[in-house]
Structure 1
Amino acid sequence: MTPIEHSAMEAGLKLPTPSTPGGNYSSFNIRGNTAHIAIQFPIKDGDFLYQGRLGATLNAQEGYDAMQLCAMNVLAQINKHLTFNQLEGMNHLDIYYQSTDYWDEGPYVANGASDIFMEVLGGKGEHSRSILGVHSLPRNFSVGLTATATINRKPFWFFL
């Protein structure tokens, strides 16, 4: 069990299986000391969850739960490609949601991701974020999450 899996387990969570890209791109890309994690949606075990529009078919709590699942998918990608010691910390989150015209609970929904990163990663989970309401997301997902993280590029044996 990896340290990220262990920390998630202590919080009563289980990392999902990392999703695969839905197109011609990589889910996880490293440039220099920055890891870029492609948009993650509320997908668990191949099932598309939390589809619809916040404020219409889904409420704010469901949006929060959906965003937590997106954050868990980001952690699954990090866990697949890095060791915990290689992760210096999260940098920035771009949080996307689709909602009705006057729905305004985006910050609460965004906290679903922020809370997961702080709970599972501790101080390494601190980040900045942007919250973006959009007209639509692929597959009618209610939310999506992209992230960047700083990594330590020391050789793997340095951490042994």
Structure 2
Amino acid sequence: MSHAARLQELGIELPSVAKPVAAYVPAVQAGDQVWTSGQLPFKDGELMAVGKVGADVSAEDAYTYARQAALNAIAAVDALVGVDNVARVLKVVGFVASDPSFSGQPAVINGASELMQEVFGEAGEHARSAVGVAVLPLDSPVEVELVVELKR
């Protein structure tokens, strides 16, 4: 089954690519890889939430926001090369704007990782970093980047 067909089967519609908030592009291709810029949890042109996870934002809600940010990253890949040209997801990098006492970053970024596995199956299994940070752009609670390998 193609990745586009899998998205359709899951009832997932790729959003429009979020407009960059600074001087960068949403994704670039280098050889047989695509690297996305950090994607925030924009939905319908609006940031879904602001604040620190563990204080203003629950870990459960942040999981949902990480999933949305990852969906936005898939949309950036799709706009550049087409989602069906993805051979596998190599790396997911997730940043979580965290209250100093919060240490559940891996569970939050599972929102992104589990989406990769749902959409891409075994090709969605990836290396990953889940990093707690003091603040993210626009006071977003999460940011997600992808590196994917393209079919040859």
- Whole-angstrom CA distance in 2 between matches of 1:57 and 1:22: 23
Which range moves more in the overlay, 35-44 or 24-33? 24-33
Write the letter of the residue equivalent to 1:99.
S
Write the letter of the residue equivalent to 2:58.
N
Quote the residue 1:89 is aligned against.
Answer: 88
Q: CA deviation at 1:5?
A: 4.0
* Aligned residue pair count: 151
- Per-residue CA shift, 1:88-131, capped at 9, x if unaligned? 11111111011111111111101100110100111221110011
- Per-residue CA shift, 1:25-48, capped at 9, x if unaligned? 111101111111000000012111
**Which consecutive residues of structure 2, in runs of 5 or more, have no partner in the other structure?**
none
Quote the residue 1:10 is aligned against.
Answer: 9
Q: CA deviation at 1:85?
A: 4.1
Q: CA deviation at 1:16?
A: 1.3
* Alpha carbons 1:50, 1:62 under 8 Å: kept: no
TM-score using structure 2 length: 0.93
- Equivalences for 1:69-148 in 2 at 5 Å? 69-148=68-147
**Which consecutive residues of structure 1, in runs of 5 or more, have no partner in the other structure?**
155-160
* Alpha carbons 1:137, 1:143 under 8 Å: kept: yes
Percentage of identical aligned residues: 26
Write the letter of the residue equivalent to 1:141.
S
TM-score using structure 1 length: 0.88
Q: CA deviation at 1:66?
A: 0.3
- Per-residue CA shift, 1:126-160, capped at 9, x if unaligned? 110011111100100000011111113x5xxxxxx
Which range moves more in the overlay, 16-25 or 32-41? 16-25
Quote the residue 1:55 is aligned against.
Answer: 54
Tell which structure's C-alpha radius of gyration is larger.
1
* Alpha carbons 1:4, 1:79 under 8 Å: kept: no
Q: What is the RMSD of the two structures over their aligned residues, measured on CA atoms?
A: 1.4
